[in-house]
């Protein structure tokens, strides 16, 4: 099954990690087989890649890409001091300045 293996570092929010653990627990109970967090994450990635043209998937990718760009630009401007202050949750930037801007657009 895994003839070609590659290692990847994946940084996730605690909320996403907790939800994946719950999914692993439910799968273990349903299938009556041990299902690890790694198995769940691998399956989610594979299934997500099958939906690469889905608008919800693309919106999530866009949100994460914009958040990374913003964090990097803030880090460059401030010399890295404020770069760690932005919190990400499932690809959506959390912060008072952006929340207000999003509300005005709607």
In a domain, 24, yes or no: yes
pLDDT of 15 above 90: yes
If asked whether residues 57 and 81 sit together in one domain, one would say yes
Each residue of 41-87: pLDDT tens digit?
999 999 999 998 999 999 999 999 999 999 999 999 987 665 455 55
H or E stretch including 22? helix 14-31
Do 72 and 43 reside in the same domain of the chain?
A: no
Cα separation, 95 vs 89, whole angstroms? 11
- Indicate if 57 and 86 belong to the same structural domain: yes
> How far is Cα 23 from Cα 88, in angstroms, rounded to an integer?
21
């Amino acid at each position: 099954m895994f003839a070609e293996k590659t290692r990847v570092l994946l940084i996730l929010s605690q909320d996403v990690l907790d939800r994946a653990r719950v999914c692993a627990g439910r799968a273990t109970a349903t299938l009556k087989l041990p299902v690890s967090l790694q198995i769940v994450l691998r399956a989610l990635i594979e299934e997500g890649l099958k939906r690469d043209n889905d608008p919800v998937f693309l919106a999530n990718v866009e949100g994460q890409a914009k958040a990374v760009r913003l964090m990097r630009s803030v880090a460059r401007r401030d010399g890295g001091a404020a770069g760690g202050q932005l919190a990400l949750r499932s690809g959506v930037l959390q912060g008072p300045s952006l929340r207000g801007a999003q509300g005005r657009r709607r």
